[in-house]
């Protein structure tokens, strides 16, 4: 069965980014000329996904509004003859079918995904985490869907990280399965204590999951940090069905972290159609004064 839906959890409080995120969802922080979340939505749209399910919480309505039609704004732009701008806003509100569901308590990523179970139903689906931006020629979601069409099983996106950073991620231990960039999952652990794993394959926020993950999540007890961890449910699922880890092609930015966010702004600004060249010259000038 093809993957038609993508769950995007956006309920997190964004504490890593306070005070900027006190009144604004972290997903609405701007990278060059659009909010972070729009890059993720555009990635899944470009990959052929048909519906997005936002898992939201109180104070996140700006995200839904961003992808909605704004009658007043449309009216004003038409009156002022700002046709192109009007068209761009129109494009954003027509990108894709969007449904929202509320995660009422911050019980963890696993719980957030479980909250979407009735809307996802009994079909494979994608999960994209709003903090993880991937800059690539072929959208990361597309790369994963291509592999899914071959293997028809759950897939987690991974990238290699230095050993002293493994404690910040879900870590996959796998065996090479002959296909380029692909490993069969043997074990996985959420944020292992330093020195407790030999693997450097870190989970990045893109997953394709079989619907059985919801059964696993139903019986997942709180794990790392006292939260219901998606990684723990994935480990349980990997014992019942094959699961793959895929080293995607592209550069990943942790946009939920201040330094990662700055790196993302620079990378996206340098590649921006209108601003890229100008920004490159400016950066060189700045570098010369350092």
- In the complex, least distance from residue 257 CB atom to ligand G1P, rounded to whole angstroms: 9
- Judge whether 160 and 201 are in contact, CB under 8 Å: yes
Q: Which stretch binds ligand G1P (CB under 6 A): 40-48, 66-74, 226-234, 281-289?
A: 226-234
Give the single-character DSSP code of 191: S
R_g of the chain computed on alpha carbons = 20
Is residue 27 within the footprint of ligand G1P (CB under 6 A)?
Answer: no
Site string (153-192) toward ligand G1P, x via CB under 6 A: ----------------xx-------------------x--
Give the number of residues in contact with ligand G1P, rule: CB under 6 A.
Answer: 14
Q: Which stretch binds ligand G1P (CB under 6 A): 56-64, 201-209, 261-269, 270-278?
A: 201-209
- In the complex, least distance from residue 282 CB atom to ligand G1P, rounded to whole angstroms: 30
Q: Which stretch binds ligand G1P (CB under 6 A): 56-64, 72-80, 135-143, 225-233?
A: 225-233
Q: What SS3 state is found at 202?
A: strand
Spatial separation of the C-alpha atoms in residues 132 and 135, rounded to whole Å: 10
Site string (33-72) toward ligand G1P, x via CB under 6 A: ----------------------------------------
**SS3 helix, strand, coil % of the chain, rounded to 5?**
40, 25, 35
Query: Which residue lies nearest ligand G1P, judged by its C-beta?
Result: 170
Checking 282-285 for CB contacts under 8 A at 24+ apart, the result is: none
Spatial separation of the C-alpha atoms in residues 255 and 134, rounded to whole Å: 10
What totals of helices (H) and strands (E) does the chain contain, helices first?
Answer: 11, 13
Please name every residue paired with 206 in a beta bridge, in sequence order, or none if there are none.
Answer: 128
Is residue 232 within the footprint of ligand G1P (CB under 6 A)?
Answer: no
Is residue 131 within the footprint of ligand G1P (CB under 6 A)?
Answer: yes
Q: What SS3 state is found at 207?
A: strand
Residues 6 or more apart whose CB falls under 8 angstroms from that of 267 comprise 135, 251, 253
The interface with ligand G1P within residues 243-282 (CB under 6 A) comprises: none
Question: Residue from 202, 208, 233, 245 that binds ligand G1P (CB under 6 A)?
Answer: 202
Is residue 231 within the footprint of ligand G1P (CB under 6 A)?
Answer: yes
Binding site for ligand G1P (CB under 6 A): 109, 129, 131-132, 169-170, 190, 202-205, 229-231
């Amino acid at each position: 069965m093809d993957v038609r839906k993508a769950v995007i959890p956006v309920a997190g409080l964004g504490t890593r980014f306070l005070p900027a995120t006190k009144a604004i969802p972290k997903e609405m922080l701007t990278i060059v000329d659009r909010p972070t979340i729009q890059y993720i939505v555009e990635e899944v749209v470009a990959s052929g996904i048909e519906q997005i399910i936002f898992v939201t919480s109180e104070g996140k309505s700006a995200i839904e509004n961003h992808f909605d039609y704004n009658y007043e704004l449309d009216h004003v732009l038409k009156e002022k003859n700002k046709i192109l701008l009007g068209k761009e806003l129109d494009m954003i509100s027509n990108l894709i079918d969007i449904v929202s569901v509320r995660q009422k308590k911050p019980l963890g990523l696993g719980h957030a995904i479980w909250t979407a179970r009735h809307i996802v139903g009994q079909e494979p689906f994608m999960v994209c985490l709003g903090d993880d931006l991937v800059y690539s020629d072929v959208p990361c979601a597309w790369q994963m869907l291509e592999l899914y069409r071959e293997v028809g099983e759950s897939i987690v996106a991974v990238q290699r990280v230095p050993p002293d950073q493994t404690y910040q991620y879900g870590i996959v231990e796998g065996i090479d399965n002959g296909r380029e960039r692909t490993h069969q999952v043997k074990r996985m652990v959420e944020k292992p204590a330093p020195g407790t794993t030999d693997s450097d394959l870190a989970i990045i926020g893109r997953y394709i999951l079989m619907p059985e993950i919801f059964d696993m999540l139903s019986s997942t007890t709180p794990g790392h940090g006292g939260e219901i961890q998606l990684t723990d449910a994935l480990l349980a699922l990997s014992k019942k069905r094959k699961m793959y880890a895929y080293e995607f092609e592209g550069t990943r930015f942790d946009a939920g972290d201040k330094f990662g966010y700055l790196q993302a702004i620079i990378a996206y600004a340098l590649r921006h159609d209108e601003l890229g060249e100008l920004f490159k010259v400016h950066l060189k000038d700045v570098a010369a004064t350092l």
